Chains A and B, each alone.
Chain A
Amino acid sequence: MKEELIISGRMNPHIDPILNAWGWEIAFYLFVGGLSAGILFFSALFVLRKKENIYPTAVKLAPMFVPFFLILGLGALFIDLHHKIYFWRLYTTVRLQSPMSWGAWTLMIITPLSIAWAASFVKEIWPKFNWWNIKLLNTIEKIIIDNRRLLAWPLIIYSVILGIYTGILLSAFNARPLWNTSILGPLFLTSGLSTAAALIVWMSKSKLERNIFTKIDLLLIGIELFLITHLIMGFLAGGQVQVESAQIFLGGAFTTYFWVFLVMLGLILPAILEILELNDLHIPAFAPAILILAGGIIFRFLIVEAGQITRYLY
C-alpha cells in the first residue's frame, strides 16, 4: 500500500483538492469554436464547388451565425482571463510553441474573415437589407463578392486550423494525461464538423440539402466513434497514468456521462434517427440536430473537466 498526502495544508484555490483552473468558459469556447469552424468549412467548400444555389443554407444562411458564435466564444475566453487588463499582451508576441498563442492569432484572422464572408451573403438572403448603404461599404461588399472564391481558400485553411486547434489546445498539455493524446485534435475537428452539419440539416428547407448533409453527418459520426474507440485503446496501451485516465470513462467518475450522454444520446441515437430519416420515415429535423449539438457541448465539458483530474502525482 502507498499513500501520498500533502501534510502542510496546501489548499490553493482552483488547484486543491483537484485542479479546476479551467471551467465552463473554455468548454463553451471549444464548442462554439468547433461549430464555427465546421460551418465556415462547409460554406467555403461548397462555394469552391459552385454549389451555392444547391446548398443555400450551408453556404449562405449558416455563416450568418458564425460571427456571433465566435464573438460569444471570445467573450467566454475573456471572462476566463484573470488578469484582463493585460489581454492585449496576446497580440504583442507570436509564440510558436504555445497553442494558445496560435489560437489567439487564428481567431484574430478568422473572426474578421467570417464577418466579411457572412456580410457578402446578407443581401442574397434579405434582398431589402440596406443598413450599410454607404459608398465605401458597398464598394468593400462588391470586392468581397467578386473575390469570394479567392477568399474561400484561406477560410477553409483557417477553419481547419480553428477546428483542430480546439483539440490541440488541450492535447499539448502532457501534465494532464487524459488530454495528452494526438487524437484529440482530429476528434474535436470531426465533432465540430458534425455539429455544423447537424445545425445545417436543422435549418435547411431543401430536401436535397437535408439529405446530403444528413449523409455527411452520418459519415462524421462514424469517424467520431472510430476515433473515440482509438482514443480509449491508445490510453489502455499507454503508461500507468494514461491507463488510469481511461478508467475515468471505464467505471470511474465520468462513466455514465461519457457512455450515456455522449456516446448513446449524442452519437448513436441521432445516427439511428438520421438513418430512419434517410429511409423516408418522418423524423422531425430538430431531434437529431439537438441531440448532436447537446452531445458536442457535453463532450467538451467532459474532456475539460475529466482531464483536469488526471495527473502524475498524488
Chain B
Amino acid sequence: MAVADLTRAGAPAEPGRDGALLAVSDLRVSFQTPHGVVDAVRGVSFAIGRGETVGILGESGSGKSVSVGAVMGLLDSPPARIGGAIRYGGVDLLKAPVRETRRIHGDRVAMINQDAVTALNPGLTVGYQIAEMFRVHRPGTSRADARRRAAELMDRVKIPSARQRVQSYPHEFSGGMSQRVMIAMAIALEPDILIADEPTTALDVTVQAQIMQLLAELREQTGMALILITHDLGVVAESVARVLVMYAGRIVERGPTEEVIARPAHPYTAGLMSSVPRAEHKDRKLATIEGAPPVLTAIPPGCAFHPRCGRSRPVCSGDRPELEPVTSARDSACHFAAQVFDG
C-alpha cells in the first residue's frame, strides 16, 4: 500500500529510493487539544537511501519536526494520533513493539536536537551520557570500555581536552560544545541515518558554521545518511543534495536542492526564495509572503497555501493538489506547477 502510494504519485525514481533505508509513507499526525484537533502532519511520504542527504525545509508549524518526532518514536499517544507507516529495514516503526524499535532508535537512526543545552541531562556527566549509548545498545560493554570510547568520541567531535572533560557536567559546556556532545552521542554507534532537527538554530552564527562543518566531515568519514530539518534556506543549500519543502503538514515540493533553489515549481517555494537576500540582487527590495501560516486547527480547504498565494484561482480552494512530477527529478503539489516552473 505504502509503496503503491509512492508510485501512484507518479514521482519518477529518485536516487536511493529503490534501496530505501527509511521509507515514510502517508504519515499523518494529529493532536487532541482543548481547542480542537491540530492536524500537524497530513499525509507525508518520503524515502532516504544509504548515504543520501535530504533537507526538510519549512516554517515552524509546517509539520517537519513532528514528522521526525514520529520517526524517532517521540510522540505520546494520546494526545497524538498517528497514521501511515514508517519502515526501516522491514520493521514498521509505528507498529513494532517498543523493545524492537528501541534497537533502531539511537543505534541505526540517531537524532540531534535543536537545543542541545536542554537535551542533555543536567544531573549526569556528559561522559556518562555518551557511554550510556554503548551500555544500553551494546550490552556487555564494560564500564571502563564505554568510558574510554566516550572520551574518544568527544575527541572526534573536537571537544578540546576531551579526556579531562568526560567527568564534566553539561552546565560547564557552552551551547556549541553541548551540541558537539549531542553529536558524539548520535554518532556513537555509527548509525545509518542521522536526523538533525534544526541543529544550529540555538547557536551563534560563527558556531553554526563549525557545527555544520563538523557534520559534513563526519558524514564523509562514516557514509551515514543525513536528514536535515531546517527553516534556513542557506543551510539547505550548503548541506544536502535533495530537499523537501513542507507547508501546513504536507510536502509541497521536492527535488534536487540546486534545481529547486534555481527554479522553484511551487509558489510557496518561490516565495521563500525571493525572501532571502542575495548578493547579486542587493539593490532589489526583499519580497515577503503575504499573510501568516494557517492555524493548524483550521487549515484552509483545497491547497492550504491558497489564501496567501498570488496565483490563487477558484480551483485552488476547491481541489487539493497532489504531489506530481514537474520534470523527471522534480515534484510539486500545485495546480499551476508548470506555469510556476516556467516562471
Real binding pair: no
